[in-house]
Amino acid sequence: MSRRPPLTDSRLAALCAEEARKALGDYEARFDQITRRARERFLARDWRGSYADAAERLHLYSLVLDGLTSRVEDLMAERLRERKIWSATKAVYSSLISQSIRWEVAESFFNSLTRRVFATEGVDQAIEFVDTDFDAPPRTPDAELAKVYAGASLHYLLREVLRRTDVTQIEVEKPGFRLEVAA
């Protein structure tokens, strides 16, 4: 059985950066999923469920980072504490998050990973995000932040909102006016 040659530093850095990006995506998706339940929990006065969701959100960060740390430890093996590879990993990761609207969270997430591997006193700008790598938020976000619906009847516009989002029902109630639209 032939043994595979070790990965180059750049390939290892790219693999670790991609693992970090995927873990961040997993964290964000799961966090958003929990958060989307908040409205329904509130309206149903499900305080225990709200409390459980809050606790789940708080523990989620550590849970995702535990899995990521384990995968990175497996990938890097005896090279885990080589700062040269971590510096390259940070550079690759920075390019992977460059168009994210949550780049500040992404940088902090990466720093949390490095802090789990290294017992850094102070900061190490070579392997951590100290001053952001970005001058300003990206111009083209990876998600639509807002959508304006105009130029048609209210009923039609609300139906469009329902059709294009995961919202299933909208109710508008004012004195002398009530409108309910469901998908």
Per-residue pLDDT tens digits for 75-132: 999 999 999 999 999 999 999 998 888 889 999 999 999 999 997 777 888 899 887 7
**Distance (Å, rounded) from C-alpha 14 to C-alpha 8?**
10
**What pLDDT score does 182 carry?**
67
Say yes or no to pLDDT of 162 above 80: no
155 versus 140: the higher-pLDDT residue is: 155
**What pLDDT score does 52 carry?**
92
Give me the percent of the chain exceeding a pLDDT of 90: 51
Say yes or no to pLDDT of 175 above 80: no
**What pLDDT score does 62 carry?**
95
Say yes or no to pLDDT of 142 above 70: no
Give me the percent of the chain exceeding a pLDDT of 70: 79
**Distance (Å, rounded) from C-alpha 67 to C-alpha 107?**
18
8 versus 179: the higher-pLDDT residue is: 8
pTM (2 d.p.): 0.69
**Distance (Å, rounded) from C-alpha 6 to C-alpha 98?**
29
Say yes or no to pLDDT of 179 above 90: no
**What pLDDT score does 136 carry?**
60
Q: Please, where are the H alpha helices in the chain?
A: 9-43, 47-76, 83-96, 103-117, 154-164
What are residue 181's phi and psi, to 5 degrees?
Answer: -130, 130
Residue that has been written with the tokens 């670790």 in this structure: 16
Say yes or no to pLDDT of 181 above 70: no
Q: Where are the domains of the chain?
A: 9-117, 144-183
**Distance (Å, rounded) from C-alpha 73 to C-alpha 76?**
5
Show Cβ contacts of residue 153 under 8 Å, excluding neighbours closer than 6 positions. Answer: none
**Distance (Å, rounded) from C-alpha 19 to C-alpha 120?**
22
Cβ–Cβ under 8 Å, residues 169 and 183: yes
Show Cβ contacts of residue 147 under 8 Å, excluding neighbours closer than 6 positions. Answer: 164
